[in-house]
Structure 1
Amino acid sequence: MTYKTKGIVLRIVKYGETSLIVTIFTELFGVQSYMVNGVRSSSRKNAKGNYFLPGAILDLVVYHNEQKSLHRIKEFQWAYLYQHAFSDVIKNCIVLYMVELLTKSLKQPEQNADLFNFCEDVLKELDETNKITTANMPLFFTLHLTHFLGFKMIDNYSNDNVFLDLQEGCFEPMPPTHNNYIDGEKAHITSQLLKILQPFELEQIKLNKETRRELLSQYQSYYALHISDFGQMKTLTVLHEVL
Protein backbone atom coordinates (compact mmCIF):
# COMPACT_ATOMS: atom_id res chain seq x y z
CA MET A 1 0.00 0.00 0.00
CA THR A 2 1.29 3.48 -0.83
CA TYR A 3 1.25 6.59 1.36
CA LYS A 4 2.11 10.26 0.83
CA THR A 5 4.42 11.74 3.45
CA LYS A 6 7.11 14.35 3.89
CA GLY A 7 10.57 13.22 4.91
CA ILE A 8 13.92 14.59 6.09
CA VAL A 9 16.91 12.60 4.84
CA LEU A 10 19.16 11.48 7.71
CA ARG A 11 21.64 8.99 6.26
CA ILE A 12 22.59 7.38 2.95
CA VAL A 13 24.52 4.18 2.26
CA LYS A 14 25.61 3.17 -1.23
CA TYR A 15 24.22 -0.17 -2.37
CA GLY A 16 25.43 -1.90 -5.50
CA GLU A 17 26.48 0.24 -8.42
CA THR A 18 23.47 2.52 -8.76
CA SER A 19 21.32 2.22 -5.63
CA LEU A 20 21.08 3.71 -2.15
CA ILE A 21 19.71 2.64 1.20
CA VAL A 22 18.34 5.84 2.70
CA THR A 23 17.33 6.50 6.30
CA ILE A 24 14.57 9.12 6.38
CA PHE A 25 12.68 10.76 9.24
CA THR A 26 9.15 10.74 7.85
CA GLU A 27 6.20 12.75 9.08
CA LEU A 28 3.90 9.73 8.87
CA PHE A 29 6.02 6.79 10.09
CA GLY A 30 8.97 8.26 12.00
CA VAL A 31 12.43 6.99 11.06
CA GLN A 32 12.35 4.45 8.23
CA SER A 33 14.83 2.87 5.80
CA TYR A 34 14.24 2.78 2.05
CA MET A 35 15.88 1.10 -0.91
CA VAL A 36 16.15 3.53 -3.81
CA ASN A 37 17.28 1.96 -7.08
CA GLY A 38 19.00 3.59 -10.03
CA VAL A 39 19.70 7.01 -8.55
CA ARG A 40 23.52 6.94 -8.68
CA SER A 41 23.87 7.33 -12.42
CA SER A 42 26.90 9.26 -13.68
CA SER A 43 24.67 11.03 -16.18
CA ARG A 44 23.76 14.58 -15.21
CA LYS A 45 20.35 14.08 -16.77
CA ASN A 46 19.69 11.33 -14.25
CA ALA A 47 21.29 12.86 -11.15
CA LYS A 48 18.44 11.80 -8.89
CA GLY A 49 20.88 10.96 -6.12
CA ASN A 50 21.14 14.70 -5.44
CA TYR A 51 17.71 14.52 -3.84
CA PHE A 52 19.06 12.23 -1.12
CA LEU A 53 21.48 14.50 0.72
CA PRO A 54 21.44 14.67 4.55
CA GLY A 55 18.93 17.31 5.57
CA ALA A 56 16.99 17.31 2.31
CA ILE A 57 13.24 17.83 2.79
CA LEU A 58 11.25 15.70 0.35
CA ASP A 59 7.70 14.93 -0.66
CA LEU A 60 7.44 11.16 -0.91
CA VAL A 61 5.09 8.45 -2.06
CA VAL A 62 6.25 5.32 -0.25
CA TYR A 63 5.34 1.68 0.04
CA HIS A 64 4.94 0.77 3.70
CA ASN A 65 4.50 -2.57 5.42
CA GLU A 66 4.66 -2.74 9.23
CA GLN A 67 6.19 -6.22 8.99
CA LYS A 68 9.22 -4.99 7.03
CA SER A 69 12.25 -2.97 8.11
CA LEU A 70 13.28 -1.93 4.58
CA HIS A 71 10.74 -0.22 2.32
CA ARG A 72 10.68 1.33 -1.14
CA ILE A 73 9.96 4.78 -2.51
CA LYS A 74 7.61 5.08 -5.46
CA GLU A 75 7.94 8.82 -6.08
CA PHE A 76 10.01 11.67 -4.67
CA GLN A 77 10.42 15.40 -5.24
CA TRP A 78 11.57 18.46 -3.33
CA ALA A 79 9.19 19.59 -0.60
CA TYR A 80 11.51 22.54 -0.03
CA LEU A 81 14.43 23.55 -2.22
CA TYR A 82 17.26 25.09 -0.20
CA GLN A 83 18.76 28.34 -1.43
CA HIS A 84 21.79 28.40 0.89
CA ALA A 85 21.86 25.45 3.30
CA PHE A 86 23.66 23.07 0.91
CA SER A 87 26.02 25.64 -0.63
CA ASP A 88 26.98 27.75 2.40
CA VAL A 89 29.75 25.97 4.35
CA ILE A 90 28.63 27.09 7.80
CA LYS A 91 24.93 26.41 7.22
CA ASN A 92 25.69 23.00 5.72
CA CYS A 93 27.80 22.06 8.75
CA ILE A 94 24.86 23.00 10.98
CA VAL A 95 22.50 20.91 8.85
CA LEU A 96 24.82 17.91 9.22
CA TYR A 97 25.04 18.50 12.97
CA MET A 98 21.24 18.61 13.28
CA VAL A 99 20.91 15.44 11.22
CA GLU A 100 23.45 13.56 13.34
CA LEU A 101 21.78 14.70 16.56
CA LEU A 102 18.42 13.50 15.25
CA THR A 103 19.89 10.18 14.15
CA LYS A 104 21.42 9.57 17.59
CA SER A 105 18.27 10.64 19.42
CA LEU A 106 15.54 8.82 17.48
CA LYS A 107 15.87 5.18 18.50
CA GLN A 108 12.41 3.90 17.58
CA PRO A 109 10.43 4.21 14.29
CA GLU A 110 7.53 6.04 15.91
CA GLN A 111 5.44 8.77 14.35
CA ASN A 112 6.05 12.19 15.86
CA ALA A 113 4.47 14.81 13.64
CA ASP A 114 5.16 17.66 16.08
CA LEU A 115 8.86 16.82 16.14
CA PHE A 116 8.93 16.55 12.35
CA ASN A 117 7.30 19.98 11.99
CA PHE A 118 9.78 21.49 14.44
CA CYS A 119 12.76 20.06 12.52
CA GLU A 120 11.35 21.17 9.17
CA ASP A 121 10.73 24.70 10.44
CA VAL A 122 14.26 25.03 11.90
CA LEU A 123 15.89 23.77 8.68
CA LYS A 124 13.90 26.26 6.59
CA GLU A 125 14.68 29.12 8.98
CA LEU A 126 18.38 28.20 8.90
CA ASP A 127 18.36 28.34 5.12
CA GLU A 128 17.09 31.91 5.05
CA THR A 129 18.42 33.55 8.19
CA ASN A 130 21.29 35.97 8.92
CA LYS A 131 24.75 35.24 10.38
CA ILE A 132 23.98 35.86 14.06
CA THR A 133 20.88 33.69 14.07
CA THR A 134 22.74 31.02 12.08
CA ALA A 135 25.54 30.89 14.66
CA ASN A 136 23.05 30.43 17.52
CA MET A 137 20.88 27.89 15.69
CA PRO A 138 22.74 24.75 16.92
CA LEU A 139 22.20 25.84 20.53
CA PHE A 140 18.51 26.52 19.94
CA PHE A 141 17.95 23.22 18.13
CA THR A 142 19.86 21.17 20.71
CA LEU A 143 17.94 22.60 23.65
CA HIS A 144 14.46 22.60 22.13
CA LEU A 145 14.77 19.14 20.58
CA THR A 146 14.65 17.76 24.14
CA HIS A 147 11.03 18.97 24.40
CA PHE A 148 10.06 16.18 22.00
CA LEU A 149 12.37 13.46 23.32
CA GLY A 150 11.05 13.02 26.85
CA PHE A 151 13.77 14.83 28.81
CA LYS A 152 12.80 18.47 28.40
CA MET A 153 15.04 20.93 30.21
CA ILE A 154 12.98 23.00 32.70
CA ASP A 155 13.54 26.76 32.69
CA ASN A 156 13.11 27.59 36.36
CA TYR A 157 16.14 29.90 36.45
CA SER A 158 15.92 32.73 38.99
CA ASN A 159 18.11 34.79 41.31
CA ASP A 160 18.04 31.79 43.64
CA ASN A 161 18.16 28.92 41.13
CA VAL A 162 21.43 29.52 39.29
CA PHE A 163 22.90 26.01 38.97
CA LEU A 164 21.70 23.94 36.00
CA ASP A 165 21.76 20.30 37.06
CA LEU A 166 22.29 18.29 33.86
CA GLN A 167 21.21 15.05 35.49
CA GLU A 168 17.88 16.47 36.66
CA GLY A 169 17.35 18.92 33.80
CA CYS A 170 16.45 21.91 35.95
CA PHE A 171 18.00 24.83 37.85
CA GLU A 172 18.82 24.42 41.54
CA PRO A 173 19.80 26.87 44.32
CA MET A 174 22.92 24.89 45.26
CA PRO A 175 25.55 23.09 43.19
CA PRO A 176 24.77 19.35 42.96
CA THR A 177 27.06 16.76 44.52
CA HIS A 178 28.21 15.59 41.05
CA ASN A 179 30.09 17.50 38.33
CA ASN A 180 27.38 17.47 35.67
CA TYR A 181 26.11 21.01 36.00
CA ILE A 182 26.37 24.47 34.43
CA ASP A 183 26.65 27.66 36.46
CA GLY A 184 27.46 31.34 36.11
CA GLU A 185 26.86 33.21 32.86
CA LYS A 186 26.39 30.01 30.85
CA ALA A 187 23.47 28.97 33.06
CA HIS A 188 21.88 32.37 32.49
CA ILE A 189 22.42 32.12 28.72
CA THR A 190 20.83 28.66 28.71
CA SER A 191 17.78 30.11 30.43
CA GLN A 192 17.59 32.85 27.76
CA LEU A 193 17.82 30.27 24.99
CA LEU A 194 15.07 28.18 26.55
CA LYS A 195 12.78 31.22 26.46
CA ILE A 196 13.24 31.65 22.70
CA LEU A 197 10.13 30.42 20.88
CA GLN A 198 11.06 31.19 17.27
CA PRO A 199 14.51 30.93 15.64
CA PHE A 200 14.48 34.53 14.36
CA GLU A 201 14.51 35.70 18.01
CA LEU A 202 18.05 34.26 18.35
CA GLU A 203 19.43 37.49 16.87
CA GLN A 204 18.84 39.09 20.28
CA ILE A 205 21.43 36.82 21.93
CA LYS A 206 25.01 37.95 21.30
CA LEU A 207 27.61 35.28 22.07
CA ASN A 208 31.26 34.77 21.23
CA LYS A 209 32.50 31.59 19.59
CA GLU A 210 34.13 30.21 22.74
CA THR A 211 30.89 30.47 24.72
CA ARG A 212 29.02 28.70 21.92
CA ARG A 213 31.60 25.92 21.85
CA GLU A 214 31.48 25.34 25.59
CA LEU A 215 27.69 25.38 25.73
CA LEU A 216 27.35 22.92 22.85
CA SER A 217 29.80 20.55 24.54
CA GLN A 218 27.87 20.75 27.81
CA TYR A 219 24.55 20.19 26.04
CA GLN A 220 26.03 17.05 24.45
CA SER A 221 26.78 15.85 27.98
CA TYR A 222 23.10 16.40 28.80
CA TYR A 223 22.08 14.16 25.90
CA ALA A 224 24.60 11.50 26.88
CA LEU A 225 23.14 11.43 30.39
CA HIS A 226 19.61 10.83 29.08
CA ILE A 227 20.12 8.66 25.97
CA SER A 228 21.87 5.32 26.36
CA ASP A 229 24.72 4.67 23.90
CA PHE A 230 24.61 8.28 22.72
CA GLY A 231 28.36 8.29 22.15
CA GLN A 232 30.31 11.17 20.64
CA MET A 233 29.04 13.60 18.01
CA LYS A 234 31.32 13.41 14.96
CA THR A 235 30.04 16.71 13.56
CA LEU A 236 30.62 18.62 16.79
CA THR A 237 34.36 19.07 16.19
CA VAL A 238 33.73 20.47 12.70
CA LEU A 239 30.97 22.71 14.02
CA HIS A 240 33.29 24.08 16.70
CA GLU A 241 35.72 25.11 13.96
CA VAL A 242 33.26 26.83 11.65
CA LEU A 243 31.47 28.69 14.46
Structure 2
Amino acid sequence: MSQVTHKTKAVVLRTVKYGETSIISTLYTELFGIQSYIVKGVRQVSKKSQGKSSYFQPGAILQLEAYHNELKNLQFIKDFQWDYLYEQVFFDVVKNAVAVYMIELLQHSLKQPEANPELFYLITDSLKQLDKGDNALAANLPLYFILHLASESGFQLHGSYSKQTPVLDLQEGQFVNEIPNHPHYISGETAAVVHKINSINFYEDLSSIPLTRYTRRPLLEGLQQYLALHIPDFGEMRSLAVLQEVLG
Protein backbone atom coordinates (compact mmCIF):
# COMPACT_ATOMS: atom_id res chain seq x y z
CA MET A 1 0.00 0.00 0.00
CA SER A 2 1.52 3.33 -1.07
CA GLN A 3 1.86 6.16 1.43
CA VAL A 4 -0.23 9.28 0.92
CA THR A 5 1.59 12.57 0.46
CA HIS A 6 0.31 15.99 1.45
CA LYS A 7 1.07 19.39 -0.06
CA THR A 8 1.67 22.11 2.51
CA LYS A 9 3.50 25.38 2.90
CA ALA A 10 6.18 25.56 5.59
CA VAL A 11 8.64 27.91 7.28
CA VAL A 12 12.08 26.54 8.20
CA LEU A 13 12.87 26.92 11.92
CA ARG A 14 16.05 24.88 12.38
CA THR A 15 18.25 22.56 10.32
CA VAL A 16 21.00 20.14 11.40
CA LYS A 17 23.25 17.82 9.40
CA TYR A 18 22.28 14.15 9.36
CA GLY A 19 24.63 11.43 8.19
CA GLU A 20 27.01 12.13 5.32
CA THR A 21 24.63 13.74 2.84
CA SER A 22 21.28 14.51 4.51
CA ILE A 23 19.69 16.96 6.95
CA ILE A 24 16.96 17.00 9.57
CA SER A 25 14.90 20.16 9.35
CA THR A 26 12.28 21.39 11.82
CA LEU A 27 9.53 23.27 9.99
CA TYR A 28 6.37 25.08 10.97
CA THR A 29 3.83 23.80 8.46
CA GLU A 30 0.44 25.18 7.53
CA LEU A 31 -1.25 21.76 7.73
CA PHE A 32 0.48 20.03 10.64
CA GLY A 33 2.09 22.71 12.79
CA ILE A 34 5.65 22.03 13.93
CA GLN A 35 7.20 18.93 12.35
CA SER A 36 10.68 17.48 11.81
CA TYR A 37 11.67 16.03 8.43
CA ILE A 38 14.57 14.01 7.09
CA VAL A 39 15.64 15.45 3.74
CA LYS A 40 17.86 12.91 2.01
CA GLY A 41 20.83 13.63 -0.20
CA VAL A 42 20.69 17.45 -0.25
CA ARG A 43 24.31 17.74 0.89
CA GLN A 44 25.67 15.47 -1.83
CA VAL A 45 28.32 16.94 -4.10
CA SER A 46 26.50 16.48 -7.39
CA LYS A 47 24.83 18.64 -10.03
CA LYS A 48 21.41 17.39 -8.99
CA SER A 49 21.92 18.29 -5.30
CA GLN A 50 23.86 21.53 -5.77
CA GLY A 51 22.30 24.38 -3.80
CA LYS A 52 19.46 22.20 -2.46
CA SER A 53 20.54 22.58 1.17
CA SER A 54 20.11 26.38 0.86
CA TYR A 55 16.35 25.81 0.73
CA PHE A 56 16.50 24.83 4.40
CA GLN A 57 17.98 28.02 5.84
CA PRO A 58 16.02 29.20 8.90
CA GLY A 59 13.30 31.59 7.73
CA ALA A 60 12.91 30.07 4.26
CA ILE A 61 9.29 29.74 3.09
CA LEU A 62 8.76 26.52 1.16
CA GLN A 63 6.12 24.51 -0.66
CA LEU A 64 6.39 20.82 0.30
CA GLU A 65 5.08 17.50 -0.81
CA ALA A 66 5.59 15.36 2.25
CA TYR A 67 4.61 12.10 3.87
CA HIS A 68 2.87 12.41 7.22
CA ASN A 69 2.47 9.74 9.87
CA GLU A 70 0.94 10.88 13.18
CA LEU A 71 2.76 8.07 15.01
CA LYS A 72 6.25 9.15 13.92
CA ASN A 73 8.46 11.95 15.23
CA LEU A 74 10.37 12.20 11.97
CA GLN A 75 8.60 12.65 8.63
CA PHE A 76 9.92 12.47 5.06
CA ILE A 77 9.82 15.07 2.30
CA LYS A 78 9.17 13.83 -1.23
CA ASP A 79 9.61 17.16 -3.01
CA PHE A 80 10.17 20.83 -2.14
CA GLN A 81 10.44 24.20 -3.83
CA TRP A 82 10.40 27.88 -2.89
CA ASP A 83 6.98 29.27 -2.00
CA TYR A 84 8.46 32.75 -1.64
CA LEU A 85 11.94 33.75 -2.79
CA TYR A 86 13.47 36.52 -0.68
CA GLU A 87 15.10 39.50 -2.33
CA GLN A 88 16.71 40.92 0.82
CA VAL A 89 16.17 38.87 4.00
CA PHE A 90 19.09 36.49 3.47
CA PHE A 91 21.47 39.23 2.28
CA ASP A 92 20.66 42.47 4.15
CA VAL A 93 22.35 42.64 7.58
CA VAL A 94 19.46 44.39 9.39
CA LYS A 95 16.68 42.31 7.83
CA ASN A 96 18.58 39.07 8.39
CA ALA A 97 19.09 39.91 12.08
CA VAL A 98 15.35 40.60 12.42
CA ALA A 99 14.44 37.33 10.67
CA VAL A 100 16.88 35.31 12.82
CA TYR A 101 15.35 36.88 15.95
CA MET A 102 11.79 36.12 14.82
CA ILE A 103 12.67 32.51 14.03
CA GLU A 104 14.36 32.06 17.42
CA LEU A 105 11.24 33.48 19.10
CA LEU A 106 9.25 30.74 17.37
CA GLN A 107 11.75 28.06 18.42
CA HIS A 108 11.23 29.12 22.05
CA SER A 109 7.46 29.60 21.78
CA LEU A 110 6.14 26.65 19.76
CA LYS A 111 5.85 23.67 22.06
CA GLN A 112 2.99 21.62 20.58
CA PRO A 113 2.69 20.13 17.09
CA GLU A 114 -0.91 21.10 16.32
CA ALA A 115 -1.63 23.36 13.35
CA ASN A 116 -2.63 27.00 13.75
CA PRO A 117 -3.29 28.49 10.29
CA GLU A 118 -3.66 32.03 11.66
CA LEU A 119 -0.23 31.79 13.30
CA PHE A 120 1.23 30.39 10.07
CA TYR A 121 -0.13 33.37 8.12
CA LEU A 122 1.26 35.77 10.74
CA ILE A 123 4.73 34.22 10.37
CA THR A 124 4.79 34.17 6.57
CA ASP A 125 3.17 37.61 6.17
CA SER A 126 5.63 39.14 8.64
CA LEU A 127 8.65 37.62 6.88
CA LYS A 128 7.41 38.78 3.46
CA GLN A 129 6.75 42.30 4.75
CA LEU A 130 10.22 42.32 6.29
CA ASP A 131 11.65 41.46 2.87
CA LYS A 132 9.70 44.22 1.08
CA GLY A 133 9.65 46.94 3.75
CA ASP A 134 12.02 49.79 4.57
CA ASN A 135 14.48 49.83 7.48
CA ALA A 136 12.04 51.63 9.80
CA LEU A 137 9.50 48.83 9.27
CA ALA A 138 12.22 46.20 9.80
CA ALA A 139 13.36 47.79 13.07
CA ASN A 140 9.84 47.92 14.52
CA LEU A 141 8.65 44.57 13.18
CA PRO A 142 9.98 42.45 16.10
CA LEU A 143 7.78 44.44 18.51
CA TYR A 144 4.70 43.91 16.33
CA PHE A 145 5.58 40.23 15.86
CA ILE A 146 5.94 39.53 19.59
CA LEU A 147 2.55 41.12 20.35
CA HIS A 148 0.77 39.12 17.65
CA LEU A 149 2.64 35.90 18.45
CA ALA A 150 1.42 36.31 22.03
CA SER A 151 -2.12 36.90 20.80
CA GLU A 152 -2.08 33.80 18.57
CA SER A 153 -0.63 31.82 21.49
CA GLY A 154 -3.66 32.71 23.61
CA PHE A 155 -2.51 35.62 25.79
CA GLN A 156 -3.24 38.86 23.99
CA LEU A 157 -2.95 42.19 25.78
CA HIS A 158 -6.12 43.64 27.33
CA GLY A 159 -7.17 47.24 27.77
CA SER A 160 -5.49 50.30 26.31
CA TYR A 161 -3.04 53.00 27.28
CA SER A 162 -4.59 56.17 28.73
CA LYS A 163 -4.06 58.71 31.50
CA GLN A 164 -6.14 56.42 33.70
CA THR A 165 -4.22 53.27 32.69
CA PRO A 166 -0.60 54.33 31.97
CA VAL A 167 1.07 51.08 33.08
CA LEU A 168 1.29 47.78 31.18
CA ASP A 169 1.38 44.91 33.67
CA LEU A 170 3.28 42.19 31.78
CA GLN A 171 2.36 39.48 34.29
CA GLU A 172 -1.37 40.14 33.95
CA GLY A 173 -1.19 41.15 30.28
CA GLN A 174 -3.21 44.32 30.68
CA PHE A 175 -2.98 48.10 31.04
CA VAL A 176 -3.58 49.15 34.67
CA ASN A 177 -3.79 52.38 36.66
CA GLU A 178 -0.78 51.90 38.95
CA ILE A 179 2.59 50.19 39.11
CA PRO A 180 2.15 46.56 40.26
CA ASN A 181 4.02 45.05 43.22
CA HIS A 182 6.33 43.03 40.95
CA PRO A 183 9.06 44.13 38.50
CA HIS A 184 7.35 42.98 35.29
CA TYR A 185 5.79 46.12 33.84
CA ILE A 186 6.22 48.88 31.24
CA SER A 187 5.06 52.40 32.02
CA GLY A 188 4.67 55.90 30.64
CA GLU A 189 5.66 56.71 27.06
CA THR A 190 7.02 53.19 26.49
CA ALA A 191 3.63 51.69 27.37
CA ALA A 192 2.00 54.18 24.99
CA VAL A 193 4.22 52.88 22.16
CA VAL A 194 3.15 49.28 22.90
CA HIS A 195 -0.50 50.31 22.59
CA LYS A 196 0.23 52.17 19.34
CA ILE A 197 2.03 49.20 17.76
CA ASN A 198 -0.65 46.78 18.98
CA SER A 199 -3.35 48.94 17.37
CA ILE A 200 -1.99 49.26 13.83
CA ASN A 201 -3.91 47.59 11.00
CA PHE A 202 -1.24 47.49 8.29
CA TYR A 203 2.42 46.53 8.37
CA GLU A 204 3.30 49.73 6.48
CA ASP A 205 2.17 51.75 9.51
CA LEU A 206 5.23 50.44 11.40
CA SER A 207 7.37 52.74 9.23
CA SER A 208 5.69 55.82 10.68
CA ILE A 209 6.43 55.03 14.35
CA PRO A 210 9.76 56.75 15.07
CA LEU A 211 11.65 55.03 17.90
CA THR A 212 15.12 55.75 19.21
CA ARG A 213 17.42 52.96 20.34
CA TYR A 214 16.76 54.12 23.93
CA THR A 215 13.05 53.43 23.52
CA ARG A 216 13.27 50.31 21.36
CA ARG A 217 15.80 48.43 23.53
CA PRO A 218 13.75 48.33 26.77
CA LEU A 219 10.61 47.74 24.71
CA LEU A 220 12.06 44.66 23.04
CA GLU A 221 13.36 43.34 26.35
CA GLY A 222 10.03 44.00 28.06
CA LEU A 223 7.89 42.36 25.37
CA GLN A 224 10.23 39.38 25.17
CA GLN A 225 9.83 39.06 28.93
CA TYR A 226 6.05 39.08 28.37
CA LEU A 227 6.42 35.93 26.24
CA ALA A 228 8.77 34.34 28.77
CA LEU A 229 6.28 34.96 31.60
CA HIS A 230 3.51 33.14 29.73
CA ILE A 231 5.33 30.35 27.89
CA PRO A 232 6.70 27.54 30.09
CA ASP A 233 10.44 26.84 29.67
CA PHE A 234 10.86 29.77 27.30
CA GLY A 235 14.63 29.82 27.84
CA GLU A 236 17.30 32.34 26.94
CA MET A 237 17.29 34.15 23.59
CA ARG A 238 20.72 34.29 21.96
CA SER A 239 19.82 36.53 19.03
CA LEU A 240 18.47 39.48 21.08
CA ALA A 241 21.95 40.92 21.76
CA VAL A 242 22.85 40.64 18.05
CA LEU A 243 19.60 42.32 17.01
CA GLN A 244 20.09 45.16 19.51
CA GLU A 245 23.63 45.68 18.20
CA VAL A 246 22.55 45.71 14.55
CA LEU A 247 19.63 48.09 15.15
CA GLY A 248 21.95 50.45 17.11
- TM-score range with shorter-chain normalisation? over 0.9
Q: Give the alignment's TM-score, normalised by structure 1.
A: 0.97
**Unaligned segments of structure 1, at least 5 residues:** none
For 2:32, the equivalent position in structure 1 comes to 29
Whether 1:142 aligns to 2:146 is yes
Q: Which amino acid aligns with 2:202?
A: Q
Q: Distance in 2 between matches of 1:199 and 1:154?
A: 21
Contact 1:24/1:31 (8 A) holds in 2: yes
Q: 1:117 to 1:210 in 2, by over 3 A?
A: same
Q: Which amino acid aligns with 1:240?
A: Q
For 1:171, the equivalent position in structure 2 comes to 175
Give the 3-state SS of the residue equivalent to 1:72 in structure 2: strand
Q: Distance in 1 between matches of 2:138 and 2:228?
A: 25
Whether 1:187 aligns to 2:191 is yes
Whether 1:4 aligns to 2:17 is no
For 1:103, the equivalent position in structure 2 comes to 107
Q: Which amino acid aligns with 1:84?
A: Q
Mapping of 1:94-243 within 5 angstroms? 94-243=98-247
Please list the CA deviations of residues 26-49 of structure 1 after superposition, one character each: whole Å capped at 9, or x if unmatched.
000000000001111344652200
After TM superposition, give the deviation of residue 156 of structure 1 in Å: 2.0
Moved more, 208-217 or 108-117: 208-217
Q: Distance in 1 between matches of 2:47 and 2:155?
A: 45
Give the 3-state SS of the residue equivalent to 1:152 in structure 2: coil
Q: 1:89 to 1:43 in 2, by over 3 A?
A: farther
Q: Distance in 2 between matches of 1:11 and 1:109?
A: 15
Identity %: 53
After TM superposition, give the deviation of residue 163 of structure 1 in Å: 0.7
Q: Runs ≥4 in structure 1, deviation > 4 angstroms?
A: none
Give the 3-state SS of the residue equivalent to 2:9 in structure 1: strand
Q: Which amino acid aligns with 1:234?
A: R
Q: Which amino acid aligns with 2:170?
A: L
Q: Give the alignment's TM-score, normalised by structure 2.
A: 0.95
**Unaligned segments of structure 2, at least 5 residues:** none
Give the 3-state SS of the residue equivalent to 2:175 in structure 1: strand
Give the 3-state SS of the residue equivalent to 1:144 in structure 2: helix
Whether 1:16 aligns to 2:16 is no
After TM superposition, give the deviation of residue 194 of structure 1 in Å: 0.6
After TM superposition, give the deviation of residue 96 of structure 1 in Å: 0.7
After TM superposition, give the deviation of residue 137 of structure 1 in Å: 0.8
Q: Which amino acid aligns with 1:38?
A: G
Contact 2:95/2:131 (8 A) holds in 1: yes
Contact 1:41/1:47 (8 A) holds in 2: no
